[in-house]
Chains A and B, each alone.
Chain A
Amino acid sequence: MNQQPVNQQVSSRTVRYNTEVAAASAAADAARATPGVVRLQPGLWGLVQQLSREMWERATGTRYPDIAGVEATLDADGTAVDLDISMVLHSGHNATAVSAAVQESARIAVTALTGLAVTTVTTHITDIDLAPLLA
């Protein structure tokens, strides 16, 4: 079996991780900029990662991209990525239209900023912000 030296394996994993973070960051920025998206919404594991990043920023002063609510998974070749985006919808917008807009803008942004092909963009609306209707 052809085994890479440990340091090369670590380096390869680091490159993959950094690429996934770059793709997730581009997708998150694009999603947040889409009209009708109130905010991105991480699940439990995403929240743990977000809190860890906030601690890291506080300790080191180094800014880390806010990618909570977005998961980017590179394929085996490292040339294409699957995106999974969870978000909260503004009640004044149509859920289907906003989801389609997020899928399109995330796809364009990730390819433009990272050069990666985007295989799928899955979106989840986890909640609707009813506050504007109540006002």
Chain B
Amino acid sequence: MALDRTAPAHELPCGRHVEDVLDELDHGTVSGHTRSCAHCTTARHGIEALNEATRILLDDPVEPEPGLVDRIMSAVRVEIRHSEGLTLPTGADHADISIRAVASLLRFAADTVPGARARHCRVEPLPDPETDPGAGAGAGAGAGAGAGAGAGAVPAVRIDMTLTVRYGTPLEPLLEQVRAQLVAAMAGHIGLEARTVNLDVVDLWDE
């Protein structure tokens, strides 16, 4: 194997370079120094172990494992979701949760109400009125205001969800049930306050 001698060499404590030992191994000639020098011997053993590992991997007729695509897609989703998280109030250290994961949970919570099916769900953090006094004016004025924020209150979010509803279902009690489920899911499963919940019925369905 030809070595690129323009690249920086890796010097051993004895003054020789790892590349010198590698050259000897390539040519099958081990010098007297290499045999007697502890540093060169260690380097030689390391190179031989690496050669052996490389040979095993090259000879290994490994098939891609069945779950590999799922693992890759999960990793891709992590990259996407890292940029959009809701901060969780754990204390001094930062903690967050993916907004898409929260939306999935909320759609599931809405679907548990008989006669309702969730479609789209958007979750946005609301500014903290204590740290952003100008932001609190409209908070709590939404269709489903939860308990008001006070001193030491948990961070609040706004939920916008579109729903389809079974034809003939009384709308008002159904929406109240959905709203209650969303507020309970945010508090119980996430630890955040759903201060504003906007529900939009976009379609009807018949069984």
Binding site for B on A (CB under 8 A): 5-7, 10, 41-44, 46-47, 55-56, 58-60, 86, 89, 91, 93-97, 99-100, 103, 120-128, 130, 133
Contact = CB atoms under 8 A, between A and B. Distances in A.
Contact of A124 (B74, B76, B82, B104): B82
B95 A94 contact: no
A7 B11 contact: yes
A7 B53 contact: no
Given A47-B71, A86-B78, A133 B191 contact: no
Contact of B75 (A10, A42, A99): A42
Q: Size range of the interface on B?
A: 35 or more
A43 B82 contact: yes
Interface stretch (B84-92, B119-127, B138-146, B157-165): B84-92
A103 B89 CA distance: 12
Given A97-B191, A124-B82, A126-B98, A7 B93 contact: no
A42 B192 contact: no
Interface string B173-199: 000000000000000111110000000
Contact of B90 (A5, A6, A42, A100): A100
A56 B62 CA distance: 13
Contacts of B49: 60
B72, B75, B104, B190 — most chain A CB neighbours (10 Å): B75
Interface of B: 8-13, 49, 53-54, 56-57, 60, 62, 71-72, 74-79, 81-82, 85, 88-91, 93-98, 101-102, 104-105, 108, 154, 188-192
Nearest to A54: B65
A11 to B, nearest CB: 10
Given A56-B53, A59-B56, A95-B189, A122 B95 contact: yes
A130 B106 CA distance: 11
A48 to B, nearest CB: 9
10 contacts: A6-B11, A7-B12, A41-B78, A58-B60, A59-B57, A59-B60, A95-B189, A96-B89, A96-B95, A125-B97
